[in-house]
């Protein structure tokens, strides 16, 4: 029995009184869906909790819809969401979280690189009083070049970010309902979930694991896509690039004054000296620096533009649950409203430790 922040104590609830929601994003992961469902079912059964499994089909071009149609017909725990086009994994996670009704929500990628068996360790730490439990990728199987680049990115990201960011933590995490509600209440349309998860605060900790290689098919993330992800994270959570350009601009202004003074002295001492090469180099350098500065400012302006459009993060084309296949706007809206009412229903406290004040993430090197 744990003591709360208010000096009271409450008995820990039995697992059967709690419900977990798993949200899985699917894109070109049709072959991974059945083993993902089987492994999740085994984990939840071993924990003795009530559960639901939400697959978000982000307009996957393979046979994912047919696979999910069969699963939803066979297992009442499964809910399938289909998007009208590919909106990206972050929007897919938000779509699934909006329809989740569990006391805690687990986010997983559909390619089985997030081991479902780790949920048991997440669950234990959640029951111990943590609001967010994320997976820490201590080692990656596969390309070691990619693994090295990822480690460098996470350290740079944490160093530049305005808030504490956990190292080597992706989207794979278990979040308490109040954390999920806080994330869904944010007004941003271009979301970077792992960063916003740290931003909302609460009590957070990590669980180490080895990230396996993709089981089926090839990764949908190219080097260019990974670079885009890194840029998205950095420009979403820090103004350091603009500040850095200001410092560099000030420093180079002093350097340029020195170079011009040197050029003037050479011209005075050696009248026949031709300084065209030096001047051309300086002009070209500062021209390139100006283009870089414009590009950095442009990144922030693009984000402002995207947010100002207020477009929806996704459009649901269909929802499958049990034998139902909802395809009209009216049916989908009615289903979404019902799930929203269920998610707001009064909830028992998982244990007394959850009553403590929220803290910053447990950022571990």
Spacing of C-alpha 70 from chain mean position:
29
Q: Is the pLDDT of residue 277 over 50?
A: yes
Strands 204-211 and 132-140: parallel
Tokens found for residue 32: 């991974």
pLDDT of residue 221: 59
Q: Which CATH entry fits the domain spanning 15-146+164-221+315-355: 3.90.550.10, 3.30.420.300, 1.20.58.220, 2.60.120.10?
A: 3.90.550.10
pTM, two decimals, is: 0.72
The yes-or-no verdict on residue 363 having pLDDT over 50 is no
Reported as a single tens digit per residue, the pLDDT across 89-104 is 888 999 999 999 999 9
How many CB atoms lie under 10 A from the CB of residue 216?
A: 14
Which tens digits make up the pLDDT trace of 163-185? 777 777 788 999 999 999 999 98
Both tokens of 84, joined, read 């009208």
Token reading at 195: 């960063």
Q: Nearest 5 degrees, angle CA 241-CA 180-CA 132?
A: 75
Closest CA to 19 of 98, 105, 79: 105
pLDDT at residue number 345: 61
Domain boundaries, the chain: 15-146+164-221+315-355, 240-309
Tens digits of residue pLDDT in 17-49: 789 999 999 998 889 999 999 999 999 999 999
Spatial CA neighbour of 159 closest among 242, 241, 252, 251:
241
Given this model, what pLDDT does residue 268 score? 74
For 277-300, b/e burial (b = at least 16 CB within 10 A) is eeeeebeeeeeeeeeebeeeeeee
Taking only the tens place, the pLDDT of each residue in 180-219 is 999 998 877 777 788 888 888 899 998 988 887 777 656 5
- Return the top range by mean pLDDT from 8-17, 228-237, 275-284, 301-310: 301-310
251 versus 364: the higher-pLDDT residue is 251
């Amino acid at each position: 029995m744990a003591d709360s922040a208010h000096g009271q104590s409450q008995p820990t609830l039995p697992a059967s009184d709690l419900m977990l929601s798993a949200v899985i994003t699917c894109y070109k992961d049709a072959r991974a869906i059945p083993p993902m469902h089987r492994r999740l079912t085994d984990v939840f059964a071993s924990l003795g909790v009530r559960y639901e499994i939400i697959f978000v089909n982000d307009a996957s071009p393979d046979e994912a819809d047919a696979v999910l149609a069969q699963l939803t017909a066979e297992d009442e725990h499964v809910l399938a969401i289909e998007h009208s086009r590919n909106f990206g994994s972050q929007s897919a996670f938000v779509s699934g979280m909006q329809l989740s009704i569990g006391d805690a929500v687990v986010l997983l990628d559909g390619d089985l690189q997030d081991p479902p068996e780790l949920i048991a360790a997440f669950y234990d730490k959640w029951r111990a009083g943590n609001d967010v439990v994320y997976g820490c990728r201590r080692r990656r199987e596969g390309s070691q070049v990619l693994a090295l680049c990822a480690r460098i990115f996470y350290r740079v990201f944490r160093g530049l970010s305005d808030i504490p960011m956990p190292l080597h933590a992706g989207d794979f995490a278990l979040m308490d309902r109040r954390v999920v509600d806080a994330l869904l209440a944010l007004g941003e349309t271009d979301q970077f979930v792992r960063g916003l998860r740290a931003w909302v605060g609460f009590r957070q900790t990590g669980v180490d694991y080895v990230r396996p290689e993709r089981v089926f098919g090839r990764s949908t993330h190219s080097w260019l896509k990974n670079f885009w992800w890194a840029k998205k994270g950095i420009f979403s959570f820090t103004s350091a690039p603009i500040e850095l350009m200001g410092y560099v601009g000030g420093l180079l202004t002093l350097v340029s004054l020195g170079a011009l003074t040197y050029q003037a002295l050479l011209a005075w001492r050696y009248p026949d000296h031709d300084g065209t090469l030096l001047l051309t180099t300086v002009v070209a350098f500062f021209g390139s620096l100006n283009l870089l500065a414009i590009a950095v400012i442009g990144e922030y302006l693009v984000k402002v533009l995207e947010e100002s459009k207020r477009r929806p993060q996704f459009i649901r084309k269909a929802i499958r649950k049990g034998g139902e296949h909802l395809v009209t706007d009216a049916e989908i809206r009615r289903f979404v409203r019902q799930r929203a009412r269920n998610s707001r229903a009064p909830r028992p406290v998982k244990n007394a430790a959850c009553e403590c004040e929220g803290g910053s993430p447990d950022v571990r090197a």
